[in-house]
Structure 1
Amino acid sequence: MPIRLALVMIVRNEEAKLARCLESASPYMDDIIIVDTGSTDRTKEIAERFGARVFDFAWQDDFAAARNYALDQSVSEWNLVLDADEYIVRFDRQAMDGLLQETKHLGRIEVVSLTSEQEGEGHAKGYITRLLPSQVRFEGRIHEQAVSGLPRVNVPIAVLHDGYLHTDKSARNIPILLAEAAMKPNDAYVNYQLGKEYQGVNDLERACHYFERAFRRLHGRERYAPNAAVQYIYALKDAKRYEAVLSMINLRLSWVQSFPDYHFACGVFYLELVLSDPGRYIAYLPEIEASYLRSIALGETDRYDTVEGTGSYLALYNLAVYYEIFGRTGEALDCLKRAGELGYEKAKARLSALKG
């Protein structure tokens, strides 16, 4: 008997994006379960048009509770959990047929999130546990996590996520996280997520406060630990707390050394540090180049959530700018050429300008 795979979603007022998600996923699914938490638009009508089984659930400011109710409606051996602002861009059916025969693991799908940057759109990539055997459930009021002692493996499913593009969800997320923090004040993950939310609204004082609370409670074994360190560096840098960043870097933490985003963040920091007071910090000038070289040597990663390019074209571009400033034109041209070959249009334009 073939193994069944169900798409399991919770939604509310998603008429603008739900059809896109379901069109991308429905060819691969044996069942579609949609739990609506209070829509007032055409969300449920769109779901039914795709043959989904639609259920209602009263919203309780608890994402895990809603997701677990949705999972309880599934009768399939495997469940794929998506949000309406995500859609499948890659699904290797042949490989998945083999993987679904095994139930001794959880599946981490590739999620590429479009983000708003100063110079346009950015891409953050991570592997998130979303493919679950039937018995697995979530915990956590927000940024919920699948609870299981089973190993987690990357699976050949990729989705694009644009829910945070030109959108601010902090007004929804912060109160839920604060309620979670009141119950779990020493939870590093909750404090990390609060730091990110406050960083997103440029409340650097609160961001640094919660990142520090998270950082002091990390063991380094948590999958998100390197990301917490990187975001803490950026928050401290933006708050001009340069000595605190230096103290953190001087810890020489072993669990960040294989993360290209960490060394990229160090390169960004060292440049700002030197420019802030050249007379005081000029000795750190070589660390700019060294940091970007470490990022490039490590390359792109699938071990952690990462900003695309920190281990390749973004680091190459920043290194090229550094070389250009100090008259090392040949090395600058080489870095720009390599970044351009990776498809970075900004590098191609700068390369043309330098050659012209």
Structure 2
Amino acid sequence: MITVSVCMIVKNEEAVLSRCLDCLNGIADEIIIVDTGSTDSTREIAENYTSHLYHFPWRGDFSSARNFAFSKATKDYIYSADADEVIDEENRKKFLALKRDLSPEVELVQMRYANQLQFNTNYNFDVEYRPKLFKRVRSFRWIDPVHETVDLTLHRLDSEIEVVHRPTALHARRDFIIFQKAVKKSPLDPRLHRMYAKELFMAGKPDDFLAAYPYFEQTLHEETRSLDDIRVSQCVVVRCARQQGDPAAMFKAALKNVIGGTPCAEVCCDLGDYFQSLGDFEEAATWYYTAAFGAESELDLRAAGTVPLQKLADCYGALGLPEKAEACRAKALQRAAPAPDEMIYSK
């Protein structure tokens, strides 16, 4: 049986910390909690579960804090937990079985991560696989009889253990501050570039888009950016330009998006919003229809589903087409409840 170090970084988590740690009873052979500056009773709660409690000054960098927590681990594997996660009894049993049966060759275990979309997190799915359990010490071995090299294959297991992300508040404001600091230092890599845009579309307010506009306008024209990066930038720039009342900039980015293949649903929705604001419900309906039935969501799944269908229904209502409006509302309800085979989504 393997042993597991649970590593967590926390700050002001008094509302959820016990809930999380209780779920890990029997799973954790060691609990390491790194506090980054709590002002509530988080530290006192943590002391009821572990003596391995450390302080790490917050630097606006989750990676440095998590690396510090990992450095304190001593067991075979490290389970990276967040305070707002829970594991139900069925999945606790699966985790205990994993501890008992896991082959030592496995270096990374992914688990099904279930988000609560009502909190508008930047995670754009109900369930996806995320790396959660890491072998603390990775062994390297030489292979091949000649021109030998080191085996760099990562031995990964995708488990059926499901961890539920159940936050009690939205953390977008904190994340936007970190993103703004990061873009001032250096360009974001493609993954963070997309995550920043997702966060904007899922939880951003007009001021957040305004602060992000110069960065995404710049990346829109960078020759080193991939087509995927450019599509992400187009979505943000179109939204920002529309919010700022700059139709020339909006159409400049939007037209390049819609003529370059399958358009982004987010761009089509913004075009629909623009024409709807002018009272041109027929043209708005065209773009909402395209978003719902002829486009793909780039950042926000709702942009190709419930959002344009509900707005299309409003346009049909304004055009005196009540039957079409009701059909769209019914379709929006269907899209709001994905089928089981549509539950896993990650881009």
TM-score (norm 2): 0.68
Q: Which residue of 2 aligns with 1:349?
A: none
Q: Given that residues 6 and 30 in structure 1 are in contact (C-alpha distance below 8 angstroms), is that contact kept between their aligned partners in structure 2? A: yes
Instruction: Please name the residue that 1:112 is paired with.
Output: 115
Task: Name the CA shift for 1:132/1:248 in 2 (closer, same or farther; >3 Å).
Answer: farther
Q: What value does the CA root-mean-square deviation take over the aligned residues? A: 4.5
User: C-alpha deviations, 1:225-277, integer Å up to 9, x for none?
Assistant: 7655544433332222333333333334899949xxx41x2342122222344
Tell me, yes or no, if structure 1 residue 318 matches structure 2 residue 311.
yes
Does structure 2 retain, via aligned residues, the 8 Å contact 1:8–1:79?
yes
Q: CA, structure 1 residues 202+267, in 2 after alignment: closer, same or farther (shift >3 Å)?
A: same
Identify unmatched segments of 5+ residues in structure 2: 139-151, 338-347
Q: Distance in 2 between matches of 1:183 and 1:207?
A: 14
| Distance in 2, Cα, partners of 1:234 & 1:153 | 39
Which residue in 1 is equivalent to 2:226? 219
2:207 to 182, 202, 205: 202
SS at match of 1:250: helix
Residue 70 (structure 1) shift: 0.5
Residues 191, 22 of structure 1: alpha-carbon distance in 2 compared, 3 angstrom cutoff: same
Aligned partner letter, 1:14? E
1:333 to 322, 326, 341: 326
Code of the residue aligned with 2:291 in structure 1: it is S
1:169 lines up with 2:173 in the alignment: yes
Q: 1:248 to 1:10 in 2, by over 3 A?
A: same
Q: Distance in 2 between matches of 1:123 and 1:62?
A: 19
Measure how far apart 1:105 and its partner are.
5.0
Do 2:20 and 2:85's aligned partners in 1 also have CA atoms closer than 8 Å?
Answer: yes
Return the offset for 1:86: 3.7
Asked if the contact 1:181/1:190 (under 8 Å) is kept, the reply is: no
CA offsets 1:165-211 (integer angstroms, 9 cap, x no match): 3x6634x852x545433432465666667776795461544321122
TM-score (norm 1): 0.66
Note the 1:37-186 alignment, pairs <5 A.
Answer: 37-51=36-50, 53-88=52-87, 91=91, 93-94=93-94, 97=98, 101=103, 103=106, 105=108, 107=110, 109-113=112-116, 124-125=124-125, 127=128, 129-135=130-136, 156=160, 157-162=162-167, 164-165=169-170, 169-170=173-174, 174=177, 176-185=178-187
CA contact (8 A) 1:191 1:213 kept: no
Deviation for aligned residue 1:69 = 1.0
SS of structure 2 residue aligned to 1:327: coil
- Between 324-333 and 281-290, report the one with greater CA deviation: 281-290
Contact 2:180 2:212 in 1 (8 A): no
Deviation at 1:64, TM superposition (A): 1.4
Quick one: distance in 2 between partners of 1:331 and 1:13?
Answer: 49
Q: Aligned partners of 2:259 and 2:114: how far apart in 1?
A: 26
How many residues align structurally? 313
What letter corresponds to residue 160 of structure 1 in structure 2? Answer: H
Instruction: Please say if residues 192 and 210 of structure 1, whose CA atoms lie closer than 8 Å, have aligned partners that are also in contact.
Output: no
Between the aligned residues of both structures, percent identity stands at 22
Cα distance in 2 for residues equivalent to 1:133 and 1:276 = 51
Match of 1:347 in 2: none
Describe the shift of the 1:61–1:293 C-alpha distance in structure 2 as closer, same or farther (beyond 3 A): closer
How far apart are the structure 1 equivalents of 2:238 and 2:137? 35
Contact persistence 1:233–1:245 (CA under 8 A) = yes
Q: How many angstroms does 1:10 deviate by?
A: 0.7
Name the structure where strand makes up a greater proportion of residues. 1
Task: Return the alpha-carbon distance in structure 1 between the equivalents of residues 227 and 2 of structure 2.
Answer: 37
Aligned twin of 1:32: 31
Aligned partners of 1:68, 1:186: CA distance in 2, in Å? 20
**How far off is 1:67 after superposition?**
0.5
Which residues of structure 1 form unaligned runs of 5+? 138-147, 345-356
